Amino acid sequence: MGKATGFLEYGREETGHRPVGERVRDFDEFLLPQDAEALRTQGARCMDCGVPYCHAGFVVEGLSIGCPLCNLIPEINDLVYRGDVAEAYARLSKTHPFPEFTSRVCPALCEGSCTLGEHEPPVTVKEIERFVADETLKAGGIRPRAPVMRTGKRVAVVGSGPSGLACAELLNRLGDSVTVFERADRPGGLLMYGIPNMKLSKALVMGRVAVMEEEGVQFALSTEVGKGYPVLDLMKEFDAIALCAGATQERLIDVPGKGLDGVATAVSFLTAATRGLLDGRPVDARLSAKGKDVIVVGGGDTGTDCVATSIRQGAKSVAQLEIMPCPPKARAKGNPWPLWPRIHKTDYGQQEAIALFGADPREYLTTVKEIVGGGGRVKGVRTVGVEWREAGGRLIPKETEGSERQRPADLVLTAMGFTGPERTLVEQLDLRTDPRGSVWTERDSHKSSLMTVFAAGDMRRGPSLVVWAIAEGRRAARQCHEYLCAR
């Protein structure tokens, strides 16, 4: 490494976010611009550890160890320290097609497995990745690279989310002719409509899609395979199919009052907000948080995005209910390094709520018992505290006696996760599924039960992270290409 003692000399310093009072007034990205010299110093903290788990890319006991893309993180950190951003991007692009996305939305699995993180705050790998991506973008270094020759094989990629884009990008580089089918009016899947603009600028998504189009990838928008576009036509027109349509079946709330006006899923709420922003028109009042008491049911990243979006729309109040207990502040005994740390964190949405309303919006060990209405609309929710008790080898939530209360609510947003892929396409192709309802594939393979059909991302793996979806898409692309070349 260029600075062998850097980890002893420098502490972790993050670029940070725009001030809360400023950023909540718009939907622009909340990240601050980065300073090149500060990032060089952070790159110097990479400690030449010898066994860098940061890019290990595997799973133990359901938790990730290192980057699923196996990015060459120590090399990239060292190159940034040396001031060679162009070469850092060249190394990064060997394993990663879209660093401008993950450096904004990934929870940084790499940092959770950083060797320095055993005893000190880990290296700012995520910020270094954003610096490399953004500096390369500013310098015009992300240019179309069309394949040298074409194989004559045609592949249909269904879904333009992170796994679909990654699959299409690599298949095209390998020389196959790729058409991406997307049922929405814009490409990007959850990158476009599932993640709000202040977290991931849609200009970045559209910019990357434009590069892919120049490279030869075709996008068929507002085209839903299995409905508007028959599956049989897809099978006839293409040599192979890569299913990358995600796990878009949302887990719905099942309590009295669930059908009242003012109860909406997180995805419908976030989609309406982003579409209104991009189209330059007001959001439908039924899906707007303006002037309303908002209850978000679910404590994950999507729930946080709902909190932050509600604040920007002018919510009167925001509460976020989480049925699980609050994670510990430090690693628990059964969660050692280099596993991903299951610890309590305060994300950007909660930081904003604390600054504006004076308290963290999250309430743990709390669930909704009933949604109360009047005149067909939501007026409030009845909640109850829960305790987790073991029964038959499983943990089951039990109501806490005397904890029931009623809260005012005009808008209830359910951010309770996803149960798997939608059934239409899976059933029309008559694909085998696993016990979770995801598309079944052979072990360590992306080939489905149908010879010419491959699956990747959340559709195969189950609901997961953007970085895992990208890794899945790339692996599926390689296997699909190998299959086509062997025919």
User: What's residue 337's pLDDT?
Assistant: 94
**Judgement on whether residues 288 and 410 belong to the same structural domain of the protein:** yes
DSSP 447: B
How many angstroms separate the CA atoms of 436 and 295, rounded?
29
Alpha carbon separation from 335 to 60, 64, 197, 402, 467 (Å, rounded): 11, 11, 33, 33, 22
**Judgement on whether residues 399 and 271 belong to the same structural domain of the protein:** yes
pLDDT of residue 50 exceeding 90, the answer is no
- Position 149 in a domain: no
**Judgement on whether residues 313 and 405 belong to the same structural domain of the protein:** yes
- Position 479 in a domain: yes
State which of 138, 173, 194 marks the end of a domain. Answer: 138
How many angstroms separate the CA atoms of 303 and 12, rounded?
28
**Judgement on whether residues 261 and 243 belong to the same structural domain of the protein:** no
User: What's residue 393's pLDDT?
Assistant: 85
How do 362-363 and 317-321 pair as beta strands?
parallel
**Judgement on whether residues 130 and 69 belong to the same structural domain of the protein:** yes
Cα 321 from chain centroid (whole Å): 21
**Judgement on whether residues 339 and 458 belong to the same structural domain of the protein:** no
- Position 175 in a domain: yes
- 276-291 pLDDT tens trace: 999 999 999 999 999 9
Confidence label for 268 from pLDDT (cuts 50, 70 and 90): very high
**Judgement on whether residues 120 and 131 belong to the same structural domain of the protein:** yes
The tokens for 458 are: 């959340």
**Judgement on whether residues 262 and 374 belong to the same structural domain of the protein:** yes
**Judgement on whether residues 105 and 22 belong to the same structural domain of the protein:** yes
- Position 148 in a domain: no
- 408-444 pLDDT tens trace: 999 999 999 999 999 999 999 999 999 999 999 988 8
State which of 371, 391, 416 marks the end of a domain. Answer: 416
**Judgement on whether residues 239 and 371 belong to the same structural domain of the protein:** no
| Amino acid symbol at 297 | V
Q: What is the CATH number of the domain that holds 236?
A: 3.50.50.60
Residue 222's domain comprises: 154-248+419-486
- Position 163 in a domain: yes
State which of 416, 446, 469 marks the end of a domain. Answer: 416
- Position 210 in a domain: yes
Q: What is the CATH number of the domain that holds 109?
A: 1.10.1060.10
Alpha carbon separation from 235 to 157, 160, 240, 315, 432 (Å, rounded): 12, 19, 8, 48, 17
pTM: 0.96
User: What's residue 1's pLDDT?
Assistant: 67
Into how many domains does the chain fold?
A: 3
pLDDT of residue 172 exceeding 80, the answer is yes
